[in-house]
Amino acid sequence: MIGSTLAKLWVDAGHEVRLASRHPETLKPLIERLGRPASAGAPVDAATFGEVIMLTVPLKAIPDLAPDLAPLLAGKIVLDTANAYEQRDGAAAREASAHPQGSAGWAAARFPRSRWVKAFNTVYFKTLENEAHRKEERLGIPLASDDPDALETAAGLVRDAGFDPVIVGSLARGKEFEPDTSPYNTGMSGQQLRTFFGQSVGRSAR
């Protein structure tokens, strides 16, 4: 849902995108729709191909993927969209929610050499699809990371996808936009998010 939605927005913005699946052949119709800048592969192919990786799987799948992917993602920027839902993710959700750096910190601990950014977790995928590049105040995407350069790269990709990046702060501050917080799935614009996080408003959305 999130992966294919953002893949389209980034292809439209001129990026090359490799989508991953444990069954890459199932992505053929999607790749045909997206056109030439898109390709499909196994998760290790995408991890090797990408300069920036978006990890967008149910949270409980992350520990299973880490042994294969963590070495390939060393030094790379990872955009982590995951949310911890106890109903879906069980014990992993409880553990991730209790982590001092929130669920993104819990995931990042499994990829110690990656440059981890919490991103795109607050917005329903249909909203991303329908509200990208809107004319009025752009929809806001909060970002958190301990790596300032990774945050800038992530912010650029948020803009390319048609949204307004709002850099909230360190990875631990990702807890401030997890499920059940005010910014979560409430459709706040970038300006509204900046006000919510106590940042100065009036900065350009681009």
Q: Which is nearer to ligand NAP, 61 or 70 (CB)?
A: 61
Rounded least distance, CB 192 to ligand NAP, Å: 18
Q: Which is nearer to ligand NAP, 63 or 203 (CB)?
A: 63
Nearest alpha carbon to residue 155 among 127, 184, 118:
118
> Which structure tokens are listed for 25?
């052949």
Point out which span in 30-38, 66-74, 75-83, 152-160 binds ligand NAP (CB under 6 A).
75-83
Rounded least distance, CB 55 to ligand NAP, Å: 8
- Residue pair 115/76 in contact by the 8 Å Cβ criterion: yes
> Any idea what the Cα angle at residue 129 is, between residues 204 and 96, rounded to 5°?
85
Rounded least distance, CB 1 to ligand NAP, Å: 4
SS3 content of the chain, % helix, strand, coil (to 5): 45, 15, 35
Angle between helices 2-12 and 148-161 (to 10 degrees): 80
Rounded least distance, CB 173 to ligand NAP, Å: 17
- For ligand NAP, the binding residues (CB under 6 A) are 1-3, 21-23, 56-59, 61, 64-65, 81-83, 121, 124-125
